[in-house]
Amino acid sequence: MKKKTGRYSGYIRPFSYALDLLTINVLAFLMLGEHLNTIWYHLFISAAWIFIAWNIDFYEVYRYTKVLRMVGRLIKQYIAYLILNFAFIGFFWKFSKPSDIVWYVSTAICVVAFFKFSIFYFLKRFRVVFGGNFRRVVIVGNGKSAEQLADFFNDNPDYGYKLEGIFDLKTDKEEQLKECYNFVLEKGIDEIYSSLSNINNEDINDLIDFTDNNLKTLKFLPDNKQPLARNLIYDYYDYIPILSLRNVPLDKRANKIVKRTFDIIFSLLVIVGILSWLSPILAILIRLESEGGAFFKQKRNGLNYEEFYCYKFRSMKINANADINQVTKNDPRITKIGAFMRKTSIDELPQFWNVLKGDMSVVGPRPHMIAETERFVQKVDKFMVRHLIKPGITGLAQINGYRGEVETDKDIIHRVKYDIFYLENWSFLLDLKIIITTVFNAIKGEKKAY
């Protein structure tokens, strides 16, 4: 399967965060008195800025976001930031010139607004002149909404959508849908926009299955004549309503930062606090029992189906089938020390290096061997959806009894269902629950831990 192409868009938001934080701190240093320019005040204004921004979605700006909405968020950020500044200064210092704070906050928000709109309009111009930062799209179906969206894509190249094809389904709908699927795969299409005016539930389910299994984005053009049973997400491209099929909380930059920060801190604690002394001991025990290195690495599929090397303590004798055959109960390849490590899940600890590198997360869908993944893709519906987020050392499926060997189709089907539920309902508290349950299960022992 073709890997999903990356974009530089992911760097824009972190750059905006860094630029704005630099701006508010430099202006505070230049515009406020010495008694305010302490490390504690600068830490406070940085934390306050980020806290407000996360709560009002200040940095949730997309190519189709309206300027009026951006202005509204700037006003909210200004008011909240001003109030928190006064609250901090009133609590810790007797500050005699409130006008200085008003002047500082007003200047800061104006400079931030200048940078924000400059980046926004630069990207629009960049898409037109250089053709970069764009997404390839197709439209499926016909009707007024489909025609309006086609005109919108063609007339507004600054939004960064490149309309590659239209499948109007006016003749031989089934054959056109097949052509659409082949076209999407061959041309590397990113998003499919489907009109709901002339397709039935079966067609919708086919579209959903296709996009889920091939990591494509599906959005709908609603038909006002039909009520929608699904709880879908509304966006607007200009004044054209667009429905997104799936809400993935980890698509939000704030949630990504929270999860990544936790991953880094947690993995460092494990690496320094446990692996630093446990690795040499296990290395000696592993080498004493069988020939070969203490560590084992294996290619697995991660975020966006990208391949990466997953690390483990070696629990089996060196064998040619390690990348082909999954471990089974009473597997003769497993060593004595390996059996203990697998029973207690100690063999998984080196994967915290994968977490620190960014290939994995502490919590997420478990990655499979390449051979297994290729087999499950053909066999299990929506299997590819689990690759929309980073794989994890543990996951929701694992704490619900679906870890280890896949003995029947039921095992992998339920594992995928739990993985999809996790990615659609992620929260930091859910991650903590999964981690605590995983530790508890490792201590008491699990039936399929072999």
pLDDT single digits (tens) 26-40:
999 998 877 777 888
Q: Please state, in angstroms and rounded to a whole number, the distance separating the CA atoms of residues 209 and 61.
A: 29
Number of structural domains the chain divides into? 3
3-state secondary structure of 243: strand
Decide: 19 and 25 in contact? Cβ < 8 Å: no
Q: Please state, in angstroms and rounded to a whole number, the distance separating the CA atoms of residues 82 and 93.
A: 16
pLDDT single digits (tens) 181-203:
999 999 989 999 998 877 888 88
pLDDT at position 200:
82
Q: Please state, in angstroms and rounded to a whole number, the distance separating the CA atoms of residues 420 and 398.
A: 13
Q: Are residues 363 and 334 in the same domain?
A: yes
Amino acid at 115: F
* Domain boundary residue, one of 129, 151, 175: 129
Q: Please state, in angstroms and rounded to a whole number, the distance separating the CA atoms of residues 143 and 150.
A: 11
Q: Are residues 120 and 168 in the same domain?
A: no
Q: Are residues 150 and 258 in the same domain?
A: no
* DSSP string computed for 131-172: --S-EEEEEES-SHHHHHHHHHHHH-GGG-EEEEEEE--SS-
Q: Are residues 276 and 352 in the same domain?
A: yes
Containing domain of residue 67, as a range? 8-129
pLDDT single digits (tens) 51-92:
999 888 888 877 777 787 888 899 999 999 999 988 887 766
Residue 2 falls inside a structural domain: no
* Domain boundary residue, one of 77, 108, 129: 129
Residue whose structure tokens are 């399967």: 1
Query: HEC states along 23-63?
Result: HHHHHHHHHCCCCCCCHHHHHHHHHHHHHHHHHHCCCCCCC
pLDDT at position 9:
56
Residue 449 falls inside a structural domain: no
pLDDT single digits (tens) 423-450:
988 989 899 999 999 998 888 776 665 4
Structure tokens at 328: 């089974």
Q: Are residues 396 and 278 in the same domain?
A: yes
3-state secondary structure of 218: strand
CATH number at residue 222: 3.40.50.2300
Q: What is the mean pLDDT of the chain?
A: 84
pTM: 0.61
Q: For residues 375-398, b (16+ Cβ closer than 10 Å) or e, as one string?
A: ebbeebebbbbbbbbbbbbbbbbb
* Closest by CA position to 421, among listed 402, 407, 437: 402
pLDDT < 70 stretches in the chain:
1-10, 91-97, 128, 131-133, 223-232, 234, 239, 245, 321-325, 328, 446-450
Q: Are residues 122 and 189 in the same domain?
A: no
| Backbone torsions φ then ψ of 345, nearest 5 degrees | 65, 15
Burial bucket for residue 326 (CB in 10 Å: 0-12, 13-18, 19+): middle
